Amino acid sequence: MKNLGCILLLLVVLISCQQEKKEPVVTVPETIEEIKEPPVVKEFGYNLNNFMVVRDTVRPGDSFGAILDSHGISRAKVFEISNKIKDTFNVARITAGKAYAVLKSKDTTEKAQVFVYQNGLIDYTVVDFRDSIVARKSAKPVKIVERIASGTIESNLSQTFDEMDLSFLVAYKMADIYAWTIDFTRLQAGDQFKVIYTEKYINDTIPAGIGEIKASYFEHRSKPIYAFQFEDDTINRTSDYFDQEANNLRRAFLRAPVQFSRISSRYNLKRRIKYYGNKIRPHRGTDFAAPIGTPILATADGTVTKSERRGGNGKYVKIRHNSTYETQYLHMSRRAVKVGEYVRQGEVIGFIGMTGNTSGPHVCYRFWKNGKEVDPFKQDLPASKPLKDSLRPAFYKHIEPLKTKLDSIIFKPKQEIL
């Protein structure tokens, strides 16, 4: 019995070993998790992965010094930075509402190293004070996309653009181009337009405003008027607008210092005012009524000779255009230029207000010829410089495809932007 028990035990052991041999051995390979580097984020000329980035907006009452102080920069260092970069960036002019970024070290000190002020959607200023103090102005890459649109006026240009969901800036630019050939305050129902213009985009998707109008066509009172942008000054790289026969569409002076406004009071040396007992009080200006804050434009190129506030004039700007002509713009809410600045035709020099003696928001536009105030609408004002004969062959070649494209656009009451 003892031998039999040993034999049975041996059989059990052998069977168990046989089963163990039949079971496959599975080896699980050791997995090594791949560490992926974060994607490189570049902006303002820096790899932002190397910094701790703090983004914020300038608040009312903020100053350059206060912002840097809140990020650990001493007053002495702020003074040094401000003095070093003053020729590139005036730190006193940072504006509430503008975005900025502070790039800080990623170590435990979190030391501020770079300040970026966004002047606008595209332009920005970098102040780098890591080693030496350096400031530079730059701009984000911009993609230019060409657009076309057409429409028929039913009431006025602004309402037509609004109904078509078109940028009102295009309407402003068109009004500027045709300022001397079309009175946009007297458009007729049925007037039509076509326009080829450009739009700007940041990172291909973020709208950054309207670029230039390359060409347009406006049919006013059944009279067609083409306008083509062309560089007529190759030295200064400036351009103007000409019709299909190379005639300059501009004049030396704009008709009005405010776009889409109405004349509320004309130049009148025999004007009687009821408030003053119907006594004659000469009005030596032309009043253009518009909402407070509406931009006031320089009607011609020139140098600012006065920018101040005085008596009944309120806040005003005066511009000398040449030895013959001067213009003055009264009752501003805010002035945008200083004495000595050279301004171009159409540049914003201030904003509509009610400062001085005025009963409503408007700009009183005064016009001098040879030192005497005159009615600008009764002057035979000079035309802008004509296109040089030497540039005409290049001009005709330039406008040929643009005219073909304009002519192929079909008028529609409402047309989507292409």
DSSP secondary structure string for all residues of 108-177 = TT--EEEEEE-SSSSEEEEEE-SSS-EEEEEE--EEEEEEEEEEE-SS-HHHHHHHTT--HHHHHHHHHH
CA distance 212 to 285: 33
pLDDT at 10 over 70: no
Return the minimum-mean-pLDDT range out of 48-52, 136-140, 379-383.
379-383
For the chain, the domains span 42-139, 142-250, 262-378
**Interval 217-223 mean pLDDT:** 88
More confident residue, 12 or 138: 138
312 in helix, strand or coil? helix
CA distance 355 to 333: 6
pLDDT at 15 over 60: no
- Tens of pLDDT, residues 273-316: 554 556 666 778 888 988 999 999 999 888 999 999 999 899 99
More confident residue, 13 or 362: 362
CA distance 62 to 276: 47
Polymer length in residues for the chain: 418
64: left (phi over 0), alpha (psi -120 to 50) or beta: alpha
**Kind of pairing, strands 42-43 and 123-128?**
unpaired
pLDDT at 26 over 80: no
- Tens of pLDDT, residues 314-360: 999 999 998 889 999 999 999 999 999 999 888 999 999 999 988 88
159 in helix, strand or coil? helix
CATH 2.70.70.10 applies to domain 262-378: yes
Q: Are 44 and 119 in contact (CB under 8 A)?
A: no
**pTM of this structure:** 0.61
Q: Above pLDDT 70, what percent of the chain?
A: 84
Same-fold call for 42-139 versus 142-250? yes
265 in helix, strand or coil? strand
Q: Which CATH architecture has domain 42-139?
A: Roll (3.10)
pLDDT at 184 over 70: yes
More confident residue, 105 or 186: 105
pLDDT at 415 over 50: no
**Interval 228-251 mean pLDDT:** 84
- Tens of pLDDT, residues 85-103: 999 999 988 999 999 999 9
Q: What CA dihedral angle connects 254, 256, 261 and 265, to 10 degrees?
A: -160
Q: Which CATH architecture has domain 142-250?
A: Roll (3.10)
